Amino acid sequence: MSKYVFEGKSWKVGDFIPTDQIIKSRRVYQSIDKAAKYVFEDINPRFGQEVQKGDILVAGKHFGQSSGRAVAVKALIATGVSCIVAESFSRTFYRNAFEIGLPILEVSGVHDAVEEGDRISVDVLGGVFCNERTGEKLEGKPIDPFLIEMIEAGGVIAMAPKLVGRTT
Amino acid sequence: MTLRPRTFVEKAIERASGKTGLVPGDIVDVTPDVYMSHTASWRCIRTFEKLEGAKILHPERVAMVMDHIAPARTSVIAAYHRLCRGFAKEQGIENFFDVNAGICHLVLMENGLVRPGEIIIGTDSHSTIYGALGALGTGVGFSEITAAWVTGVIWMRVPPSIKINLTGKLRPGVFVKDIMLKIIGDLTADGATYCAIEFDGELTADLSISERMTLCNLAMEMGAKNAYVRPDKKTFDYLSEAGVDFPEEDALFPDEGAEYMRIVDVEVSDLEPQVSCPPLVDNVKSISDIAGTPIDQVFIGSCANGKYDDLVIAAGYLKGKKVADGVRLLITPGSREVMKKVADNGVLSTLIEAGALITNPGCGACAGDGGAMDDGEVTLSTANRNFSGRMGSYKSDIYLASPATAAVSAIAGVITNPEGESK
């Protein structure tokens, strides 16, 4: 399975990062590409400036908590990160990621297994994480088949026509 | 075949999906009764415009409230408001509430759009508040709202439930906000992620609808999907005041013997006022550990504590007193209806005489619309979030507390225990 397998340079953020700190509310009323420059502006100002297409974000517990603003997911996609691997995600961030089309994987122990800058690989559907520098492998939490169908369709909007009439 | 005993959320999802025998973890399509979007409605509309030939299946289920940045502060926001206004008209969306209405959640409940047993999805994480009326309210993203407009359905995972039994009697000066801060501190910010919460126990039954709103609103800060309080006479009275003739047999109640992943008993009789300290909501301390901390600003408002009785409680402490020199007291009534009530009965004058700055109804400073802080400043707020940078500088601090604690602290200029303070 080669789809949704990513390899890249890692960036790290900590536990309990709220969407407000992914992208501030005052930054969201501009184009998403402009807003992307301000992702994590308070917690890591280098990120928005230096992140490269294909980089992978590693987060701690309950990533994307607080406000359910889906624009946090959009802004992260616009930074070029290919996927996010975290100890756990908040409920709204988890939903939004699949609905907008950002591959994510929950992997217990991942935060300690990575030093920022390590090359890592993530097989999202297979649920496998690997730190290429240390060789450490960890298993991710399986993703529900319905969510895989959604992300493969390109998100909830792409899938919407298929859903019409599924329930009255 | 007899059905196994079910929790509230299991029943609500079964009813809205037409399925039976669901267990936690199952994913099903449900038909929500209301799709609420706030200022982010413009994003839903932009997404809708990309769907060729799409139409809104049930315009009567759509509700839009222009609350987060209201009135417009810039021409960009003005254009978004205008887009929403025009779209609502063109699509026949009758439940469009403009910048004068107030916070989406309060507006929906005041207007009878939230009913027991119904499913309400909203582009605001605090949609858990609808559980105060026995409904299943939950926050979703804007793409999901657009998808619901077009398809009439949304996917839901059946969550496990946590039951929280509240018992005892609150001491004077201690409020429901203090109970919830204590629970959030104990259960932590991700203690209920993807779970439903049912509030139960004698004290819950004694609480007013407004107090139940504070409970259910703050449940989100533990990561909950939804929260619920069993509907009773108070609920049905509230509904009829909102113009809803609701058949009581349509309400949903959990079954005796339903399965809970966790049952938490909270006895409140010895509870003292609680304060959530920066930079995380679950960093909760008893007021005696934090009293004396100097503050620059006090904010009384938000969907957690900007309701009518919250302002009445604050006014009780502020009557005949003055806000401390150099402290800004911002008060934002939650809705136009709240504003009208406090204007009609003189509470508004009390607040103004004490030195409060009254802003227009809406989300106000809680959503970063005014009330920003400089580096090193401190706000004591009745809202539900205190993450760094939420109110201006990343290097400023937000403490969360009840309207009573907020009022007495505004007078003293330092965080102060309202117990024993005159009102």
ipTM of the prediction: 0.89
- Answer whether B38 touches A (CB < 8 Å): no
Nearest C-alpha in A relative to B219: A66
Residue B147 and residue A159: Cβ atoms within 8 Å? Answer: yes
The whole-number average pLDDT for the span B270-297 is 97
Residue A88 and residue B390: Cβ atoms within 8 Å? Answer: no
pLDDT-based confidence at B368, cuts 50/70/90?
Answer: confident
Q: How far is B319 from chain A (nearest CA, A)?
A: 35
**Sequence-ordered list of residues with C-beta below 8 angstroms from that of B146, at least 6 positions apart, any chain:** A157, A160, B44, B47, B48, B51
Nearest to B125 by CA among B385, B399, B403: B385
Are B203 and B294 members of one domain? no
Residue A68 and residue B123: Cβ atoms within 8 Å? Answer: yes
Nearest C-alpha in A relative to B78: A29
**Interatomic CA distance for residues B41 and A68, integer angstroms:** 14
**Sequence-ordered list of residues with C-beta below 8 angstroms from that of B115, at least 6 positions apart, any chain:** B33, B133, B135, B239, B244, B246, B250
State yes or no: pLDDT of A166 exceeds 70: no
Q: Dig out the tokens for A163 from the structure.
A: 């859903």
CA atoms lying within 13 Å on the CB side of residue B412 = 19
Last residue of a domain, one of B266, B301, B320: B266
- Answer whether B59 touches A (CB < 8 Å): no
pLDDT of residue A164: 65
**Interatomic CA distance for residues A63 and A22, integer angstroms:** 10
Report how far Cα A131 is from the mean position of its chain's Cα atoms: 17
Are B256 and B289 members of one domain? no
pLDDT-based confidence at A167, cuts 50/70/90?
Answer: very low
Residues paired with B109 in a beta bridge: none
pLDDT tens digit sequence for A63-114: 999 988 889 999 999 999 999 999 999 999 999 999 999 999 999 999 999 9
Kindly list the domain boundaries of chain A, sorted by start residue: 5-163
pLDDT of residue B3: 77
The CATH class for the domain spanning A5-163 reads alpha beta
pLDDT of residue B296: 98
Are B27 and B76 members of one domain? yes
CB nearest to A16's CB, from B150, B194, B280: B280
State yes or no: pLDDT of B403 exceeds 50: yes
- Answer whether B17 touches A (CB < 8 Å): yes
The whole-number average pLDDT for the span B137-156 is 95
Contacts of A157 in chain B (CB under 8 A): 47, 50-51, 143, 146-147
pLDDT of residue A30: 87
Residue A69 and residue B40: Cβ atoms within 8 Å? Answer: yes
Rg (CA), chain A: 15
Are B292 and B399 members of one domain? yes
Q: Are B61 and B151 in contact (CB under 8 A)?
A: no
CB nearest to B146's CB, from A91, A157, A168: A157
pLDDT-based confidence at B423, cuts 50/70/90?
Answer: confident
Nearest to B39 by CA among B56, B64, B63, B60: B64
- The rounded mean pLDDT for chain B is 96
State yes or no: pLDDT of B309 exceeds 50: yes
CB nearest to B388's CB, from A42, A61, A95: A42
Number of A/B CB contacts below 8 angstroms equals: 127
Q: Dig out the tokens for B228 from the structure.
A: 């619920």
Q: Which helix (H) or strand (E) holds A9?
A: strand A5-12
The whole-number average pLDDT for the span B87-99 is 98
Kindly report the CATH number assigned to the domain that includes residue B171. 3.30.499.10
Residues paired with B198 in a beta bridge: B163, B228
**Interatomic CA distance for residues A56 and B226, integer angstroms:** 31
pLDDT-based confidence at A160, cuts 50/70/90?
Answer: confident
DSSP for A27-68, please give it: GSSS-HHHHHTTTTTTT-HHHHHH--TT-EEEE-TTBTBSS-
Considering Cα of B124, then B129, then B130, then B131, what sign does the dihedral take?
positive
pLDDT of residue B52: 83
- Residues above pLDDT 90, as percent of chain A: 76
Are B229 and B102 members of one domain? yes
State yes or no: pLDDT of B282 exceeds 70: yes
pLDDT-based confidence at B1, cuts 50/70/90?
Answer: low
Q: Work out the burial of residue B357: count CB atoms within 10 Å of its CB; fewer than 13 is exposed, 13-18 middle, 19 or more buried.
A: middle
Q: Are B190 and B154 in contact (CB under 8 A)?
A: no
Are B52 and B115 members of one domain? yes
Contacts of A166 in chain B (CB under 8 A): 29, 151, 153
Q: Give the domain extent around B84.
A: 8-266
Nearest to A13 by CA among A55, A78, A52, A60: A60
Are B203 and B326 members of one domain? no
* N-term to C-term CA, chain B: 58
pLDDT tens digit sequence for B18-40: 999 999 999 999 999 999 999 99
Q: Dig out the tokens for B224 from the structure.
A: 């909950």
Number of domains in chain B: 2
Residue A156 and residue B368: Cβ atoms within 8 Å? Answer: no
Q: Work out the burial of residue A34: count CB atoms within 10 Å of its CB; fewer than 13 is exposed, 13-18 middle, 19 or more buried.
A: exposed
CB atoms under 10 Å from CB of B53, counted, come to: 6
In three state form, how does the secondary structure of chain B look?
CCCCCCCHHHHHHHHHHCCCCCCCCCEEEECCCEEEECCCHHHHHHHHHHCCCCCCCCHHHEEEECCCCCCCCCHHHHHHHHHHHHHHHHHCCCEEECCCCECHHHHHHHCCCCCCCCEEEECCHHHHHHHHHCCEEEECCHHHHHHHHHHCCEEEECCCEEEEEEECCCCCCCCHHHHHHHHHHHHCCCCCCCCEEEEECHHHHHCCHHHHHHHHHHHHHHCCCEEEECCCHHHHHHHHHCCCCCCHHHCCCCCCCCCCCEEEEEECCCCCCEEECCCCCCCEEEHHHCCCCECCEEEECHHHHCCHHHHHHHHHHHCCCCCCCCCEEEECCCEHHHHHHHHHCCHHHHHHHCCCEECCCCCHHHHCCCCCECCCCEEEECCCCCCCCCCECCCCEEEECCHHHHHHHHHHCECCCCCCCCC
Residue A66 and residue B385: Cβ atoms within 8 Å? Answer: yes
CB nearest to B389's CB, from A21, A96, A157: A21
Task: Give phi and psi for B136, each to the nearest 5.
Answer: -100, 100
Q: Are B33 and B119 in contact (CB under 8 A)?
A: yes
pLDDT-based confidence at A168, cuts 50/70/90?
Answer: very low
- Answer whether B393 touches A (CB < 8 Å): no
**H helices within A79-155, ranges in order?**
91-100, 145-153
- Answer whether B389 touches A (CB < 8 Å): yes
DSSP A74: H
Residue B29 and residue A166: Cβ atoms within 8 Å? Answer: yes
Length of chain A: 168
Residue B153 and residue A163: Cβ atoms within 8 Å? Answer: yes
The whole-number average pLDDT for the span B3-10 is 94
Segment 84-113 of chain A within 8 Å of chain B by CB: 88, 90-92, 94-96, 99-100
**Interatomic CA distance for residues B349 and B415, integer angstroms:** 24
CB nearest to B193's CB, from A20, A26, A91: A91
Weakest mean pLDDT among A2-11, B250-259, B311-320: A2-11
Are B262 and B232 members of one domain? yes
Residue B150 and residue A73: Cβ atoms within 8 Å? Answer: no
pLDDT of residue A159: 86
pLDDT-based confidence at A1, cuts 50/70/90?
Answer: very low
pLDDT of residue A139: 98
Residue A131, SS3 per DSSP: strand
pLDDT of residue B80: 96
- Residues above pLDDT 90, as percent of chain B: 96
pTM of the entire predicted model: 0.95
Segment 41-80 of chain A within 8 Å of chain B by CB: 42, 61-62, 65-71, 73
Are B251 and B367 members of one domain? no
CB nearest to A70's CB, from B143, B153, B387: B143
Nearest to B42 by CA among B127, B123, B150, B129: B123
Considering Cα of B190, then B191, then B195, then B197, what sign does the dihedral take?
negative
pLDDT tens digit sequence for B60-86: 999 999 999 999 999 999 999 999 999
State yes or no: pLDDT of A165 exceeds 90: no
Are B244 and B310 members of one domain? no
pLDDT of residue B274: 98
pLDDT of residue B268: 98
The whole-number average pLDDT for the span B213-221 is 98
pLDDT tens digit sequence for A13-39: 999 999 999 999 889 888 999 999 999
Are B69 and B123 members of one domain? yes
CB nearest to B190's CB, from A30, A88, A95: A88
Q: Work out the burial of residue B52: count CB atoms within 10 Å of its CB; fewer than 13 is exposed, 13-18 middle, 19 or more buried.
A: exposed
pLDDT-based confidence at B420, cuts 50/70/90?
Answer: confident
**Interatomic CA distance for residues B400 and B410, integer angstroms:** 13
